[in-house]
Structure 1
C-alpha cells in the first residue's frame, strides 16, 4: 500500500485512494471476522480492487474469476440480518452489473 501512496503523491492533479476498512461495531459482527469480511468483500466482487489513471486508464488489480455469492459477505454482518432472499438477489444482481461495467472499462481503456 505504501507504493500506492507514493504513486499518488507523485501524480499531478486530483488523487483518490479508497480504502476498505471493516467496522465490527457498526457492522454488528465479532472483531475476529474483520479480516474475513474484507476478504469476502473482494471475493464476492462487492469491493473490486482496481486503479484508474488520468481518469481513463482502468487496471484491475485483483481479478476474481470465480466469485463467491454476495450472501456470504452479507450473512456475517448483523447490519444485514433484516434482508430477505429477494433483497439479496437484487444486491447480487447489482454487484454483477457493476462488475461487468468495470470489466468493460478495463477492456476499453487499457
Structure 2
C-alpha cells in the first residue's frame, strides 16, 4: 500500500486552539436566533414628543411603543407610578397631534 496524504477535517481541539490563537472567541458571539421584526422608529416612545419625565415613567413600566401607549386606557395609565392626570392629558394631546399628522397623509 502506498502512503497517501489524506486531508482530514481538523479535530475540535485544533479548531478551538486556532480560534484562541487568532483571538476569535466563539462564546462571546451572540447565537443566531430568529428575531421579531423591528417596529418603525416612529413607533418608539423615546423618539416621540412626549415629555422626558413621562417617557421615563412609561419605560420603567414596560411601555416602549407609542402604539402600545395609544391602546392604553386612562385608568391603565393612571395606575402607572409617576403618571397622573396632567401626564395623561399631555399624552393624549401628543397622541392626538401624532394621529392627526398621520391621517393628513
TM-score normalized by structure 1?
A: 0.35
- Which structure features the higher share of strand residues? 1
Specify which structure has the bigger relative contact order, considering alpha-carbon pairs within 8 angstroms and separated by 6 or more residues: 1
TM-score, structure 2 as length reference:
0.36
**Which of 1 and 2 has greater Rg?**
2
